[in-house]
Structure 1
Amino acid sequence: MDRAREVAIREAKEARENAEREARSRADAEISLSESQALFSTLFRRAPSVLILSSLQDGRIRDVNEGFVETSGWTAAEAVGKTLTELDAWSHQADRNRLKELVADSNLPNYVEIQLRKKNREFVHLLASADVLMVGGEPCLLAQGVDITEQKRAQEALAVHQKELEARVEESGEQLKASIARLEDQERLVAVGTLAAGIAHQINNPVRAIATIAELSLLEKDGQRADSVVRAMERILEEARRCGQ
């Protein structure tokens, strides 16, 4: 009997110790879970990017962070319980499906560009990613977006500026071609003028000689010179003087 009693007491003690260990383990697990939840909540709230936690089944928003509120203009109270479609926030309804496809297909890129409509009806461009989380036993979609609106505007402005530069370069090229053509025309005119001056010089020399001979012939006192010869000499002299001018 004493032996059986000792065994029973020992087993009861071991059972009590096991129960105490399990209780401590559960308490530690609950504390760890609570700390993890608090850490997740803090990171979720304070993240600089846009975070939206929604039901994977119907898309209803379960929670949003401060980045969403600041970027979209909707408060958490206005957004939670609604879908982005009900908020009229989707610029393109296909964007939500693209986010879900990122989760379903690991071969797709990790990020996609989407466009959301803010409360003030302006648009914001986001570089977004998505992951599936279990929250309270329900699969949820955690979407994260980085605002790239300013980068998109800068890219668009750069593209416009580049087109303007290309147009100016093309216009400058046409102006350069026109200037070259005018210069070539001027060079041809100069060449023609130089050639004409050379020809005139070559003509003037013999013409002057002819004029001189005609003048000397007219000065001679020869009464027997026929009048026709005199008239011819006078005509030669007249034409020679005209060419030499």
Structure 2
Amino acid sequence: MPMTTALKSLRETPELRHLSQIVSGLDEGVILIDPDGSLLWANRAALAMHGVTTMEELGRTTADYRDRFKLRYRNNHRLLPADYPMERAVGGERFSDVIVEVTVAGEAEPRWVHQVRGLSLDDHDNDDSCCAVLIIQDLSALIEAEDRFEQSFNANPAPAIICRLADLRFVKVNDGFLEMTGHIRDQVLCRTVYDIDVLRNADRRDLAKERLCEGGTIPQMEAELELPNGGTKLVIVAGQPIELGDQPCMLFTFADLEPRRKAEAALRHSEERFTRTFKMAPVAMAIGARDGHRLCEVNDAFSAMTGYSSTDIIGRALADVGLWADEGARSAIERAIDDGRDLRGHEARVAGHDGHQIDCLVSTEAITLGGDDCVLWAFHDITQRKATESELVEAIEAVMKDTSWFSRSIMEKLARLRAPQDEIGGAQLEDLTAREREVLALVCRGLDDKTIARTLGVAGNTVRNHVARIYAKIGVNRRTAAAAWARARGFDGSAPPAPSAPRASQS
């Protein structure tokens, strides 16, 4: 309640000198005010808190002070003259912890933030108050630090929330936390850590609660935040003790692990689908480590092809198992894998569990499974195909020794089977001379060297020389291959030159 007792002046009294000597060295600012509104004295701290060095600069009266310094509350409301702490103290009012921003007259922004207390000194002889006293603390640095913290706290994209340790109520929350959880600010700031459990399902919850009670650091740990919509969010939470306005608090910070949890779930589902596909694949497949070439999984088709069960082969290197029938092929395949190269259709021979040999096309692919670097093996059994091809080649060889009873179209098809176009060299018909083309045409008709010599009227040695040059140019070494080469290019010798009488010698 304001006190209206008249004040007795201390001006030019020994009491004023003694009082000034007592308070002159205090860190707090002290201003003594006469009952008539005159500023009697101020210590150095009070002058420095106003950016002045003399009483004249501070003001000789409360009215002078109001002219030189403009005060406003922290909510930007300017103080009326009667609300100035000096005027309230002169009026006999006692008050504490009034916080005002102080602006030098003529300037736009405040320079200082002061916390002011007002009291009066009493005359013990007659119980009258004889002097008003303002005690000032400069909170500028503290408020500036709090403002910087507030700005950085709110601007920080990392979710964060602060609770007061005295009652565990939340006193600050930043936008990152609100965006992560979907909470509304006003609904958070009126609740406690028991209402919004930031340690829900924490893996070290007991330790966290103990540290919270002690005001100690809470180490990082995984927890699940309950969301307003009824869902949960996986987070990493940690707590750091701090002070806000001399009040012990706990700063909780969070890292959103929900994207990681979704990614892990997607990866797990993907690996499950891969495993099912791997097991059911009709092609023999295996999964092995890149380091050491040890197998860690085989599918049913692999066991059926080789006779090895998973217990026979898993955990062992292929070389130790004796899977490779050819040591050279094993070295080449393992060297390619060690060099980081994937194989496609590499022909190799493997040995089954009972020792039988299997011709395979081996393919490999580097994969990551469960975070480990692995190799996916695929073995395509071509044993039957190889046997069929060998039988076909032998049949073609036998047939092409006597082609007189085959039609030309059948011969051409057989020739193409024997020498596919993708295996043909780069020579063309234009690379042969006219005489070489004549000789090749007769070769395509199945004539031997003597018959060709009689047909062309040249010596047998001449024909043999022409045939040798044809072989060299087109990259073959047999008549059947030469005929296949010609037919593949649409040259079948359908109109060879007519036979003529043999001559003794002609080049």
- Say whether the fold is shared (TM-score over 0.5): yes
Correspondences of 1:85-234 after superposition (within 5 Å): 85-100=319-334, 102-103=336-337, 104=339, 110-167=344-401
Match of 1:33 among 243, 262, 267: 267
More helix by share: 1
Distance 1:30 1:57 in 2: 25
Distance 1:164 1:12 in 2: 84
Structure-1-length-normalised TM-score: 0.58
Shift of 1:26: 2.9
Correspondences of 1:67-78 after superposition (within 5 Å): 67-78=301-312
Residue 81 of structure 1 aligns to a residue whose secondary structure is coil
For 1:34, the aligned partner's letter is R
For 1:118, the aligned partner's letter is G
More strand by share: 2
Distance 1:24 1:139 in 2: 26
Shift of 1:94: 2.4
Match of 1:8 among 165, 168, 172: 172
Residue 86 of structure 1 aligns to a residue whose secondary structure is helix
Q: Residues 114 and 126 of structure 1 are in contact (CA less than 8 Å); yes or no, is this contact kept in structure 2?
A: yes
Shift of 1:134: 3.0
Aligned identity (percent) is: 19
Shift of 1:114: 0.9
Distance 1:141 1:95 in 2: 17
Change (3 A) 1:12 1:132: closer
Q: Residues 53 and 63 of structure 1 are in contact (CA less than 8 Å); yes or no, is this contact kept in structure 2?
A: yes
Distance 1:138 1:93 in 2: 28
Q: Which protein, 1 or 2, shows the higher relative CO under an 8 Å CA cutoff with sep ≥ 6?
A: 1
Correspondences of 1:19-30 after superposition (within 5 Å): 20=233, 22-30=256-264
Shift of 1:95: 2.0
**1:55 and 2:289 matched:** yes
Q: Residues 366 and 376 of structure 2 are in contact (CA less than 8 Å); yes or no, is this contact kept in structure 1?
A: yes
Structure 1: 5+ residue runs without aligned partners? 178-245
What is the aligned length? Answer: 172
Distance 1:134 1:122 in 2: 33
Structure-2-length-normalised TM-score: 0.30
Distance 1:109 1:71 in 2: 20
Q: Residues 99 and 130 of structure 1 are in contact (CA less than 8 Å); yes or no, is this contact kept in structure 2?
A: no
Shift of 1:54: 1.6
Shift of 1:163: 2.6
Distance 2:368 2:319 in 1: 23
Structure 2: 5+ residue runs without aligned partners? 1-73, 76-146, 151-161, 163-169, 183-224, 226-232, 235-255, 405-445, 451-507
Shift of 1:86: 2.2
